[in-house]
Amino acid sequence: MRNLPHFQLFIDGEWSEGSGAQVMTSENPATGQGWATFACASAGDVDRAVAAAKRVLDDPAWRDVTQTARGKLLYRLADLVAEYASKLGELETTDSGKLLAETSAQTGYVADYYRYFAGLADKVEGTVLPIDKPDMHVFTTREPIGVVAAIVPWNAQMFLTATKLGPALAAGCSVVLKASEIAPAPMLEFARLIEQAGFPPGVVSVITGDAENCAIPLTRHPDVDRIAFTGGPETARHVVRNSAENFAVTSLELGGKSPILVFEDADLDGAANGLIAGNFGASGQSCVAGTRGLVHRSILEPLIERIEQKASGIQLGDPLQAETHVGPLCTAAQVRRIEETLAKARGQGATIRFGGETSDRPGNYMKPTLVQCASADTETLKVEMFGPVMSLLPFDTEDEAIALANSTPYGLGSGVFTQNLARAHRVSKRIRAGICWVNTYRAISPIAPFGGFNQSGYGREAGVEAILDYTRTKTTWINTAQEPMANPFIMR
């Protein structure tokens, strides 16, 4: 095998191989060939990273850094992320198959997340309480929650890292960042920017590895105080069980089967664009993918015609090329799952209006697919496939549309297309999801909280409340009386 680029772990300010000597090869999804290798952490490496994170919380080099100074470090990190956005984007594209246009642009925008939390670093305040006892001065302060285990998946990893690392560092925590063992290269390269920004050794360690040797030891480690996890519901259940060992405060940002409701008065071009963005954007590899398109029966055919027309110009190809609209899926397993799910849907009476096939190109390519569903029980409406598959189901009334939208155990994203302002407010209020986009889809901002309901998880990332979730409240009582404290056994 030819010499491939190799990525090491970043633990306590040092680059190293895993102590277990485990090395994995990462495949380029566009070619199906190995393109890089990376070191994998062992349980001993996890111990070392967590020990460094715990130590640095009491180290004056981090403990005594003022809130304003922490903000300046984050501003420096933001500038570096923006400067290296193209390089990080190219690494992410090569490793995961996502479009270079998207990975580089998203990484550039991620810099604004670090700037946002940098600005919040010295805005976290305590409160003086109007206590009901004389001669008592009582106030609250917010302190860093402690050691954070931040676990991110391979898709949108720069964004999902920023929503955890930004508020955690702004709050004064230390972080062990666990990158997915699938496509971890950009995260291991990102660690160089942490080092360059000037954060003291141990404040952030970046590791990767499999569940048994890395993820499980990290999430159940007795010195981890908080877990921030993004991933699938099944893995999340294991994370929650592991957190019973350390009682770590846990937040979960999981997947979903997000509905997009298109009413009869919607602008058809806007609705078609929203459905395409929600299903074919990022090759469908998005936790908020709008994979359940619910369309008023009276406009179903005209809308499908618009989608077919627009989708006919989609270019499937090399994700590094600017003219490509849809690239490969990250893993071959995703392709197999989509093929199996489509086969079940056909057996349930669904019609494949276009796509439904793999490409003859090398790599993990799946053609953009539109499924016209015969019933709400169609398999493609129930299974999260993580690929470019759009499913449409007609409805007749507003109440029916809302019931269909809520007929899922998930609740992350949702969309509503209508030109009726009253309906937009009415419907968005009734949909059980953490995010509702009206006449748009997949918009994000560091200012807006991001997170789900039900089996899409709990906790919020981004927005002001995110930084508070990385703090804990301390209440301080000060007796201001001139007399000494009274004898506790003499009641007055």
The pLDDT of residue 343: 95
Q: What is the CA radius of gyration of the chain?
A: 25
In sequence order, which residues have a C-beta less than 8 Å from that of residue 77 and are 6 or more positions away?
A: 114, 193, 194, 197, 199
Burial class (CB in 10 A: 0-12, 13-18, 19+), 47: middle
pLDDT for residue 83 is more than 80: yes
The pLDDT of residue 2: 63
Residue pLDDT, tens place only, 285-297: 999 999 999 999 9
The pLDDT of residue 161: 97
Q: How far apart are CA 367 and CA 390, in angstroms?
A: 11
Percent of the chain exceeding pLDDT 70 equals 99
The pLDDT of residue 430: 98
pTM of the predicted protein model:
0.95
Q: How far apart are CA 445 and CA 466, in angstroms?
A: 13
Q: How far apart are CA 271 and CA 278, in angstroms?
A: 10
Q: How far apart are CA 420 and CA 170, in angstroms?
A: 41
Residue pLDDT, tens place only, 24-42: 999 999 999 999 999 999 9
The pLDDT of residue 54: 98
Mean pLDDT score of the chain, rounded to an integer?
Answer: 96
The pLDDT of residue 490: 86
How far from the centroid of its chain's Cα atoms is residue 118's Cα?
A: 20
Residue pLDDT, tens place only, 402-450: 999 999 999 999 999 999 999 999 999 999 999 999 999 999 999 999 9
Range 42-46 average pLDDT: 97
Write down the residue that tokens 């490793």 correspond to: 95
The pLDDT of residue 3: 85
The pLDDT of residue 1: 47
Residue pLDDT, tens place only, 276-321: 999 999 999 999 999 999 999 999 999 999 999 999 999 999 999 9
Q: What is the rounded (10 degree) CA torsion for 20, 23, 24, 28?
A: 150
Element (H, E) at 293: strand 292-296
Q: Is 186 helix (H, G, I), strand (E, B) or coil?
A: helix
Residue pLDDT, tens place only, 139-178: 999 999 999 999 999 999 999 999 999 999 999 999 999 9
Q: Which residues are catalytic?
A: 253
pLDDT for residue 486 is more than 90: no
Q: Which residues of 305-333 are buried (b: 16+ CB within 10 A; e: fewer)?
A: ebbeeebeebebbbbbeeebbbbbbbbee
Rounded to the nearest 10 degrees, the angle between the axes of helix 185-197 and helix 67-83 is 130
According to DSSP, the residues that pair with 229 across neighbouring strands are 151, 252
Burial class (CB in 10 A: 0-12, 13-18, 19+), 281: buried
| Res. 492 pLDDT band, cuts 50 70 90 | low
| 253 within 8 A of 451, measured Cβ to Cβ | yes
- Nearest CA among 69, 144, 80, 71 for reference residue 107: 80
| Res. 56 pLDDT band, cuts 50 70 90 | very high
According to DSSP, the residues that pair with 9 across neighbouring strands are 16
| 283 within 8 A of 327, measured Cβ to Cβ | yes
DSSP state of 161: H
Domains and CATH numbers, the chain: 6-254+452-476 (3.40.605.10), 259-438 (3.40.309.10)
Q: How far apart are CA 366 and CA 406, in angstroms?
A: 29
